[in-house]
């Protein structure tokens, strides 16, 4: 009798445990799609930085260091006599900054259409001034350098 009960118990375990082997393993494509949906593509893991900000450990302070230093560099270059003489009414300019994965930066002035000025001339002055910046460390997303863009308001006249 014990043998029969033991056989029945073993058979029951064997048949019931088979359900655990029937589960489908997700395909590589399913896993990839699930992971891609979980990634927040609007944020980077690390913002771009200059070498003088690398010693800052706090993420917020490091971000502030980068933006302060970049704003200071742009202000120094754009505060030259050329702009103030050509366009005395221009006190602030928005600059679209693109930090590329290859550690270079591109600058595009976002000019206000309500002001009257010679746009090509102003663009050429701005592009001539915004060159030769220090090396920048690009943004990082999941260990890969990525492109980031932001608009930086730069005050030209400090009173």
For residue range 36-77, list pLDDT tens digits in order.
788 777 788 888 999 888 888 888 899 999 999 998 888 888
Residues 115-140 as b/e (b if ≥16 CB within 10 A, e otherwise) read: eeeeeeebeebbeebbeeeeebbbbb
* Cα 111 from chain centroid (whole Å): 23
Q: What does the pLDDT read at residue 121?
A: 75
Q: Assign 145 to helix, strand or coil.
A: strand
Q: What does the pLDDT read at residue 84?
A: 66
Q: What does the pLDDT read at residue 111?
A: 72
Q: What does the pLDDT read at residue 153?
A: 87
Closest CA to 69 of 156, 154, 7: 154
Q: What does the pLDDT read at residue 10?
A: 59
List % helix, strand, coil for the chain (3-state, nearest 5): 45, 20, 35
Positions of the chain with pLDDT under 50: 159
Residue 127 makes CB contacts below 8 A (sequence gap 6+) with 107
Q: What does the pLDDT read at residue 64?
A: 93
Q: What does the pLDDT read at residue 95?
A: 85
Q: What does the pLDDT read at residue 30?
A: 85
User: What's the predicted TM-score (pTM) here?
Assistant: 0.70
């Amino acid at each position: 009798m014990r043998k029969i009960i033991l056989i029945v118990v073993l058979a029951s375990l064997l048949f019931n445990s088979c359900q655990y082997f029937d589960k489908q393993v997700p395909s590589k494509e399913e896993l990839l799609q699930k992971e891609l949906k979980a990634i927040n593509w609007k944020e980077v893991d690390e913002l771009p930085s200059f070498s003088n900000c690398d010693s800052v450990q706090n993420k917020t302070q490091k971000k502030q260091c980068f933006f302060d230093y970049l704003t200071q560099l742009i202000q120094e270059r754009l505060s030259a006599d050329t702009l103030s003489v050509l366009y005395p009414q221009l006190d602030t300019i928005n600059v679209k900054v693109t930090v590329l994965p290859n550690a270079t930066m591109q600058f595009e002035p976002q000019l206000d259409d309500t002001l009257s000025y010679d746009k090509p001339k102003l663009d050429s002055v701005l592009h001539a001034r915004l060159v030769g910046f220090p090396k920048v460390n690009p943004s990082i997303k999941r260990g890969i350098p990525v492109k980031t863009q932001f608009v930086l308001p730069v005050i030209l006249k400090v009173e």
